[in-house]
Amino acid sequence: MAKYDVIVVGGGAMGLSVAYNLLRKGKKVHVLEGDYLNAGSTGRNLGVLKARNPYAIGNGNKDLVKLAKMGLKLNAGLSSETGINTFHKTSGCLILAKDEADLKQLKEYHAHFKSMGLDERELSPAEIHRKWNYIDPDSIISGFYSPSEANAHPFGVVWAYVEAIRKRKAQVEKQNRVSKIEKTSDGYKVTAEKGEYDATEVVVACAERSSELTEQLGHKVPLKPMRKEVLISEPIRPFLGPSLERLSTHFQATQTMRGEIMGTIDWMDPGYDLGESSSEFLEHFADEMVPVIPVLSNLNIIRQWTGICDQTPDDKPAVGKLDEGLYVTCGYNDYGITMAPAVGRLLAKTIINDETDPMLKPFDPLRFK
C-alpha cells in the first residue's frame, strides 16, 4: 500500500486547490474523487467572483470578505500560475435595487463594504443606463457596482488545478469514492471503491457530503444541502458588461465567454436530488431578467440543471483541523469558487506548519460542538 503525506478526499475546486498548494510545498499528495470531475457544485455554478460577500453581516462577515478579497486576487493569477486558461475576466458586478426594501438593505451593506475598503459605488438608474444602455432604467431604482469583481469558467479552474497537479507527478483518481476513514498508529487508513490508502494526514473536501466521513471519526459538521437551479441560453453576441444580481430574490446573471447567458434565482427545498428542474424557476427568472434587459425577451434557453450549496448554521465555512492529521474544508454555500484559491493556500500552510493560519481561525470547524 503506497503511503502518502496527505490524501485529499473530494476533487472539486476546494480539494484540488488544497492538493495543488500542498504539492507546491513538496508534500506527497493523492486526490480521491468519488465521481467524474466537475460532478459536484464546482461543475454546476456560475463562476461569479465577488469580494462583496453578503453572508453573516454583523457576525463575521469581515472575515468572509477578507478571504473573498484574497480569493479574487488569486483567481486573477491562476491562468498564468498554472498555464491553463480559466477564462477569467474582470467584468465587474452590479447589484440591483428594484424596490425600497432592496435599497435599504444595499445602503446598509454599502456602508459596511466601504468601511472594509471595498470598491463599491452607488449608481442611479440614469447613470446605469448611460454605462450599459441595454439596461432599462425604469426597471430599477438604484444599483451598486464594483468594477473589480470578476468571472471565471469553473471547468477552467478545475482543469488548471488538475493539470498543475499532474505536472507535479501526482494523481487525481476519479470514480473512486471513499467509504471509510480510520485512525491508525501513524496516520489514517482510507478505504475507497478501488482500494485502501495510507496517509499521515487526510483532508476531507466533499462539500455537503463531508460530514458523512468526518462523523466516522467523531466530528459532525452541520451542513444543509440547499439546492439551486441554473439555466443557460443559446450563445449570443457578447454584450453583457458586469454580472447582475438582486440579493432579495437570489437572482444572478452573467454571460459566458461563448456568449451564453447563464443565471439563477430563488432556492429549492433542501435535498440531494439533482434530477429536479422546474418551469416556475424558468418563469421567475424571465420575470426578473426581461424587464431589466428587454432585448433578451426572445432568448432561447437550452438547458437547466441543479446544484447543491452546502450551508452551515452561521453561513460561514468550516475549514481547519478537526483532530491530529485530520482536516476539513466545506460549507462554502454559493461563494466557494471565489474562495478556493485562497483557502487552498491557507489550509496547505496550516497543515504544513501545524498551526491554523490567522485568516482561517474564524472558520474553525470545531465551533459547532
Ligand X SMILES: Cc1cc2nc3c(=O)[nH]c(=O)nc-3n(C[C@H](O)[C@H](O)[C@H](O)COP(=O)(O)OP(=O)(O)OC[C@H]3O[C@@H](n4cnc5c(N)ncnc54)[C@H](O)[C@@H]3O)c2cc1C
HSE-up (13 A, CA, CB side) for residue 83? 6
* Closer Cβ to ligand X, 188 or 335, answer by number: 335
Which triple of cell numbers denotes residue 300? 432561447
| Residue 336 engages ligand X in binding (rule: CB under 6 A) | yes
309 binds ligand X (CB under 6 A): yes
* Closer by beta carbon to ligand X, 103 or else 322: 322
Which amino acid makes up residue 93? C
Q: Among candidates 309, 162, 320, 319, which has minimal Cα distance to 230?
A: 309
In order of 34, 64, 219, the CA distances from 209 in angstroms are: 11, 22, 13
From 77-85, 200-208, 275-283, 344-352, span contacting ligand X (CB under 6 A):
200-208
| DSSP at 253 | E
Which member of 13, 64, 293, 346 binds ligand X (CB under 6 A)? 13
Q: How far apart are alpha carbons 267 and 250 in whole angstroms?
A: 8
- Stretch in the footprint of ligand X (CB under 6 A) among 32-40, 55-63, 106-114, 351-359: 32-40
In angstroms, give the least distance from the CB of 83 to ligand X: 22
Q: How far is CA 269 from the centre of its chain?
A: 20
Nearer to ligand X, 35 or 136 (CB): 35
Alpha helices in the chain (DSSP H): 13-24, 61-82, 100-115, 125-131, 154-167, 210-214, 279-292, 336-353
Residues in contact with ligand X, shown as a per-residue x/- string from 203 to 232 under the rule CB under 6 A: --xxx-x---x--------------x-x--
Tell which residue, 336, 256, 349, has the closest CA to residue 22: 349
> Residue 9 interacts with ligand X (CB under 6 A)?
yes
For residue 144, which of 95, 90, 91, 101 has the smallest C-alpha distance? 95
Report the site for ligand X in 145-174 (rule: CB under 6 A). Answer: none
DSSP 8-class letter at 258: T
Residues in the interface with ligand X (CB under 6 A) total 40
Does 47 bind ligand X (CB under 6 A)? Our answer is: yes
Shortest CB 313 distance to ligand X, Å: 17
Residue ranges in 75-114 that form contacts with ligand X under rule CB under 6 A: none
User: Three cell numbers at 98?
Assistant: 428594484
Q: Under a CB-based contact definition with an 8 Å cutoff, are residues 170 and 30 in contact? A: yes
Cβ distance to ligand X smaller for residue 70 or 178 = 178
Q: Quick one: which of 11, 125, 143, 325 contacts ligand X (CB under 6 A)?
A: 11
Which of 177, 224, 349, 367 touches ligand X by CB under 6 A? 177
Block residue for cell numbers 440531494: 272
* Among 4, 6, 7, 12, interactor with ligand X by CB under 6 A: 12
Which residues of the shown chain bind ligand X in the complex (CB under 6 A)?
9-15, 32-35, 39-42, 44-48, 177-178, 205-207, 209, 213, 228, 230, 264, 307-309, 330, 332, 334-338
